Structure 1
Amino acid sequence: MAKQQSKSKAPTPPTPYEMMGARIQKIINSPTAQKARSVVIAKEEHEAPADWERFLDEVAENDNVTLAQRDDGSVRLAWTVPAED
């Protein structure tokens, strides 16, 4: 039998949207945010407005999550943890 060579591909660099998501996930996962079950997030200058809107739309689709737009352009993201049956 011939040995198959596996071609290893270099990892694909994250997209700007994925980098923004990772940044926000880090904020949400902080102990302070987890205790408060809320966090204020804002789009950074280098992030695309379309990516920011996509993120907010996707988050808004989740149950137990609320988004509140603030006057300064930031958003308060709050969540509840459903009781287990």
Structure 2
Amino acid sequence: MAASSAASLPSSYEQLGVRIQKIINSPNAQKARSALIFRMPHESPADWDQMLAEIAENDNVTLAWRDDGGIQIFWVVPQED
């Protein structure tokens, strides 16, 4: 039985996605339409690059690389017609 539980563990990329999603969905980030993220030492640089590329593909989203290594994400919520 223990072997099957290993298959259900989220990948490192999925874990990164969950962490970033929590930051972006936080009330403060939603209010400011901005979030600051940093890569954690245990996170894969390849996962990080893939995540940033996917975030940057979204319309109305801007990424800004900071001198301290952080990345500021800004977004605009389009007006409904």
Identity within the alignment, %: 60
2:46 pairs with one of 45, 50, 69: 50
1:12 and 2:8 correspond: yes
Gapped regions of structure 2 (runs ≥ 5): none
| Matching residue of 1:78 | 74
How far does residue 67 in structure 1 lie from its aligned partner after superposition?
A: 0.1
1:59 pairs with one of 22, 46, 55: 55
Rg larger in structure: 1
In 2, the alpha carbon distance for the partners of 1:21 and 1:74 equals: 16
Gapped regions of structure 1 (runs ≥ 5): 1-8
TM-score for both structures, normalised by structure 2 = 0.89
Matched to 1:80, the amino acid is: V
How far does residue 38 in structure 1 lie from its aligned partner after superposition?
A: 0.1
In 2, the alpha carbon distance for the partners of 1:25 and 1:59 equals: 11
CA RMSD of aligned residues (A): 1.2
Q: Which runs of 4+ in 1 moved over 4 A?
A: none
